[in-house]
Amino acid sequence: MAAGLALASLGGVAGHAAQPASTPTSTPAAAPQAAAAPGGVSNTAPTTAAATPTANPSSPELAMDGAPAMTATPMIGQPTNGLYGLQPQVTKNGVFAHWMHNSILVPTITIISLFVLALLFWVSFRYRKARSPVASKTSHNTFIEIIWTLAPVVILVLIAVPSIGLLQAQFKPAPSGAVTLKAIGNQWYWTYQYPDNGGFEVTANMLKEKGDVAAGERARTDADGPKLLATDNRIVLPVGVPIRLITTANDVIHSWAVPAFWIKLDAIPGRLNETSFTIDKPGLYFGQCSELCGARHGYMPIAVEAVPPAQFAAWVRAKGGTMPTPGKASDKVIPQPGADGSAAKVEEAAETANATGPVENVTTTAPATTQGATSNPAGAGNAGQ
């Protein structure tokens, strides 16, 4: 189990290393595109009608949305070919978890494994038939039984103390003034909303390779990020400001995971999950959906640009959003997908109103019903109920 946990947390994935690239001087804006194969199926999701329109499409601040304004840094925020270990962490929880993994879990696992291996060799040598032709009839050793019962308990307690603290910190509510990011999983792309900043949306699809794009589509470059991780639209978050992450889904269970943030939060239809984190360093960080969600599960990546707060505010205004009062707690209602206040329901109501016209309020008389008593005697039947 220990080996499985270590392998699951590896930051290195063969063949996905990004190469450094210079920032292009100008990159034409590209519309959202479908992800890779299978062909003939699109996962492009238009922004809903309820979203705030972009205020200034020509603003240079929007370059970080659909063009590589910030290039990927090798070994930072992405898998690296041949690298053994966790990705460098840029959140406080991630730094603590990284230390715990390297300083507590790995040494403990190593010592226990070597100790058990040494015992196996010693028992095989000491109690082999040539050395002990007459087998021992010893059935109990109270001292040894106490040791091998208490020792694992003590080890687990020592590991549990920092583990519980880390688990508690991962689900600590966001403080006042946090930036709310709502991530909505779809088959197979991500939609993002900024409820505290005017409600505008960003839809992110995976960038396809040069040989897979159709006419007019933008192909992935090294500046966009690694293969299978680069997106046509990145999300932007401020550095040093608490982030309130809310996840949900429109169809099946997804999972929003960015290893460098030490974040993996399931996105479940009909439910809002929440966590918080603070990014300590500017940069470009990648992740993926980490819940098996269908045939194209591997084609819904995550790309986050962490920028200084002033640059984030300029990006929000260019998007047509607004900056809330500093330090004020969020008062925005964040409905679940399909709820009456959700963007999809608002758009559906608008389409219905356009098609049928306004509905006048009228007063109707409630129909008369005959209902039997709730304590009818036995044998009276169910008439009237």
CA atoms within 13 A on the CB side of 279: 25
Q: What is the pLDDT of residue 336?
A: 58
Residues 6+ apart with CB under 8 A from 36: 206, 208, 209, 212, 296, 299
46-86 pLDDT tens trace? 445 455 567 666 677 777 777 667 787 888 888 888 888 88
Averaged confidence pLDDT in the chain: 77
Cα(265)–Cα(93) distance, rounded to whole angstroms?
A: 14
Q: Which residue has the higher pLDDT, 54 or 172?
A: 172
Cα(53)–Cα(182) distance, rounded to whole angstroms?
A: 18
Nearest CA to 234 out of 282, 284, 196, 281 is that of 284
SS3 of the chain: helix, strand, coil, percent, to 5: 30, 15, 55
290-320 pLDDT tens trace? 999 989 998 999 999 999 999 999 899 888 8
Q: What is the CATH number of domain 46-84+176-324+333-351?
A: 2.60.40.420
Domain residue spans in the chain? 46-84+176-324+333-351
With cut-offs at 50, 70 and 90, classify the pLDDT of residue 7: very low
**How many angstroms separate the Cα of 86 from the Cα of each of 103, 120, 283?**
13, 32, 17
- Find the range with the poorest average confidence among 136-140, 177-181, 206-210: 136-140
Cα(32)–Cα(206) distance, rounded to whole angstroms?
A: 9
Cα(222)–Cα(212) distance, rounded to whole angstroms?
A: 16
Residues 6+ apart with CB under 8 A from 268: 247, 248, 249, 253
